[in-house]
Amino acid sequence: MAAWRLVVLVGMLLAPAGGARAESPPVPCALFPADNVWNRDISGLPVHPLSSTYVASIGASVGLHPDFGTVYAGAPNGIPYTVVAGDQRRVPVTFRYADESDPGPYPIPRHAPIEGGRRSRGDRHVLVVQAGTCGLYELFAAHARRHARRWTAGSGAFWDLGSNALRPADWTSADAAGLPILPGLVRYEEVASGAVRHALRVTVSRTQRAYLWPARHQAGASDDTSLPPMGLRLRLKAGVDISGFSATNQVILTALQRYGMFVADNGGSWFISGVPDARWSDDDLHLLGRITGADFEAVDESGLIVDSDSGQVR
């Protein structure tokens, strides 16, 4: 049996009621090329001239918050994903924002896990990685209809994980910034391996009506330039001592020092995103709250741009 088929089968056997997995499956594809901006070490980039202003507006005294873990309010805590085979049946999807969504059909399995569970009133993201083709399909505000023979969603996006292509300018995705979601999630398997080698996804409470490369869309409610734009990249300052944290949290904090995090949506300030997994220790993850906004700085990524329509970096 092919390895990716075994992964899909095991994932189905582990799935409890509501479609949420107790343990997340391995991702069968690289998440974008090595020279993609998500995978770029930015520890040596210059500090953004408005760094202090942005950090103050987000909240310098507010603690870092892991928006993922095991179970919260009866549902898996975090943004789940599923892996499907190359021959997964495709189903039609009707989008509220069809003019900025990639049209279906999408290879969504009947029991695809939904962020927050099937009764969620939240963002209800659905993320699907197709083995073999290495296509990533992401939905926002997803609802299964007619026994999952079709779906509705607010918006949806397809990503070729072997490509550096970005969304068209001013287009949303399944995320407010027009960015992919899965590449920015903290996954248990990579933390357990000892290193996270990509940027993370973070939300802040308020953003301005603007976006920075590689983001393609904004969802701000103000023209106040002291607020962070979508796509702003923040990193944990190199001088912050992380030695007192657990090995797990040191892996996450090291990633924030080397790769940083992208402002991707409006939500809780300093909420970093990850995948729900039964193997997390919620108590340990919440010790990350000892790190506050004052420990971060915004970076200037403009020197990395090869083409404003591409995520490739110099």
pLDDT at 22: 76
Mean pLDDT per 10-residue interval, the chain, length 314 residues: 41 39 88 98 98 98 98 96 98 98 97 96 97 98 94 98 98 98 98 98 98 98 97 98 98 99 98 98 98 98 98 98
The whole-model pTM stands at 0.93
Quote the CA–CA distance of 87 and 82 in Å, as a whole number: 15
SS3 sequence, the chain? CCHHHHHHHHHHHHCCCCCCCCCCCCCCCCCCCCCEHHHCCCCCCCECCCHHHHHHHHCCCCECEEECCCEECCEECCCCCEEECCCCCCECEEECCHHHCCCCCECCCCCCCCCCCCCCCCCCCEEEEECCCCEEEEEECCEEECCCCEEEECEEEEEECCCCECCCCCCCCCCCCCCCCHHHCECHHHHHHCCCCCCEEEEECCCECCECCCCCCCCCCECCCCCCCECCEEEECCCCCCCCCCHHHHHHHHHHHHCCEEEEEECCCCEEEECCCCCCCHHHHHHHHHCEHHHEEEECCHHHECCCCECEEC
pLDDT at 20: 41
pLDDT at 8: 41
pLDDT at 11: 41
pLDDT at 6: 39
What residue spans define the domains of the chain? Answer: 3-304
